[in-house]
Amino acid sequence: MNSSGIFITLEGGEGVGKSTQMRMLVRRLEGSGWKVEATREPGATPLGKRISELVRSATGAGPVDKAELMLYLADRAQHVERVIAPALAKGIAVVCDRFIDSSEVYQGRARGLGSGEVRRLNEWVCGKAWPDLTVVLDLAPEIGLQRALERQDSLGLGLDRLESEAMEFHRQVRRGFLAQAEAEPERIKVVDAGLPRDQVAENIWAQVNGLLKERRP
């Protein structure tokens, strides 16, 4: 565990509602007396924004699998050093939309690079900035991608490169997150993202409460 602040990550496939649930969780943590740093990957730093454009753009050939992984790790290295570690050292609660498990699932499992290999790289990049709690929002990819499409349509945008992957890729992502949770049940908790939004938020808070009982802001 982190010595001062708490570190919570939200994970899951495309369109599972991480952004919405993060906003709700941040408000609740603040209401409990915590100062909160809400962040995300990729793109939380100036360098990260440039990396995000490279990895998410649907135009052009795009990076090969190993290059994609290294770009995400570069974003994470900058993110940890500039945002996450300083906030935790100040006793702040950090809530992050995607972190280590996304790389281990998307690139390690779904891309076939090996989740163990990605874990070792994550450990090197992150050092002690490791999540105290990870909540996986679980949803059938067919539903999640439809949600993502509706969201992008409302913004006048198309699906990005990862959202545009074949359905089998997204099914592998879902299986990967569930496998991560099975391998690390103490850290990773699965919440059904198909329930009504407020119920999902309550189920997330129930998991966070267990961590808060051990910590005080």
Kindly report, residue by residue over 90-111, the tens digit of the pLDDT: 999 999 999 999 999 999 999 9
| pLDDT of 35 above 90 | yes
| Rounded Cα gap, residues 110 and 114, in angstroms | 9
| Rounded Cα gap, residues 76 and 33, in angstroms | 28
Cis peptide before 131 (omega within 30 of 0): no
Q: Is residue 217 part of a domain?
A: no
Total number of domains constituting the chain: 1
pLDDT of residue 21: 98
pLDDT of residue 91: 94
For 123, other C-beta atoms within 10 Å of its C-beta total: 12
Model confidence at 1, in pLDDT bands (50, 70, 90)?
A: very low
Q: Is residue 158 part of a domain?
A: yes
Q: What mean pLDDT do residues 156-172 have?
A: 89
pTM for the full predicted model: 0.93
DSSP state of 107: I
Kindly report, residue by residue over 119-137, the tens digit of the pLDDT: 999 999 999 999 999 999 9
User: What is the CATH number for 26?
Assistant: 3.40.50.300
Question: How big is the CA angle at 151 (ends 208 and 7), to the nearest 5 degrees?
Answer: 20
Q: How many CA atoms lie within 13 A of 210 on its CB side?
A: 14
Q: Is residue 47 part of a domain?
A: yes
Structural domain for 117, as ranges:
6-212
For β-strands 36-40 and 6-12, DSSP reports them as unpaired
Q: Is residue 1 part of a domain?
A: no
pLDDT of residue 94: 98
15: left (phi over 0), alpha (psi -120 to 50) or beta: left
Model confidence at 50, in pLDDT bands (50, 70, 90)?
A: very high
